[in-house]
Copies of this chain bind each other. A is one copy, B any other.
Amino acid sequence: MGSEIRVGVLGSQGKVGKAIVDAAEAASDLTYTVGVDKGDSLEYFTDTDTAVVVDFTHPDVVMGNLEFLIRNGIHAVVGTTGFTEERLETVRGWLADNPSVGVLIAPNFAIGAVLSMRFAVQAARFYDSVEVIELHHPHKADAPSGTAYRTARLIAAARAEAGVAPSPDATTEELDGARGAQVDDVRVHSVRLAGLIAHQEVLLGTAGETLTIRHDSMDRASFAPGVLLGVREIAARPGLTVGLDDLLDL
């Protein structure tokens, strides 16, 4: 791996931040430099010669963080939420003045979530039928999950583009809700069960065969490999990258 990458963390005392510090310290090709939290100076990063900073903070502070990092030639891997198109445009402006810097902003760092969404979309046009089942712990407030909703919409769009007919369904007698929610013609079912964490299955079927793509997220550490992938790759991708997908080179 040659030289090591010097990585710092913004929001290092948060649940996610702590997990990233642990993962960075455990990786032999990375050197953890410093964590910056509320009240700390961002100059800790320049003082420690940090090359890449991971930001899991808050929408209120993330823009200030990014402006500082970009101006100081530090690459950023950002999991903080709240990026509107307007905010992205502002980031692009800062990057235009500092063309060697790379910034990755992603809503989901779980590689498996990204891959399974991608695979589902790629496979969707070859199958007569497709449905989505998502399964979560019973404390979840929304059904379906945001990921399942987005997966269904992407699948529906891919099928529409390929001119695939809607999934066949001869149901004439239905107990209310049995066939799930309909997201753009794709049925989505939400299971809530004690003992589960976060799981999703995309089921695709055609004459005589089915294909199932299942993603199981066992704990909060599941974003760590995606964040480290971003840390390793971002220096080679100047400018703004939105979503982990592009880094996966599929």
Contact = CB atoms under 8 A, between A and B. Distances in A.
B175 A181 contact: yes
Interface in A121-168: 122-123, 126-131, 133, 135, 138-144, 149, 167-168
A221 B58 CA distance: 32
A1 B218 CA distance: 35
> Per DSSP, are chain A's interface residues mostly helix, strand or loop, or mixed?
mixed
A6 interface: no
Contacts of A209: 110-112, 195, 215-218, 222, 225
A214 B214 contact: yes
A236 interface: no
A232 B152 CA distance: 27
Contacts of A72: none
A206 B177 contact: no
Contact of A141 (B110, B170, B222): B170
A126 B207 contact: no
A38 interface: no
B169 A192 contact: yes
A129 B195 contact: yes
B123 A175 contact: no
13 contacts: A115-B119, A119-B119, A126-B229, A140-B171, A141-B172, A167-B194, A175-B181, A177-B177, A178-B190, A195-B208, A195-B218, A212-B215, A212-B216
Given A174-B181, A176-B181, A212-B215, 7 more contacts: A119-B123, A129-B193, A177-B181, A193-B203, A193-B210, A195-B222, A209-B218
The 4 tightest CB contacts between A and B, nearest first, are A195-B205, A208-B222, A208-B221, A209-B222
Interface of A: 23, 110-112, 115-116, 119, 122-123, 126-131, 133, 135, 138-144, 149, 167-183, 187-197, 203-222, 224-225, 229, 248, 250
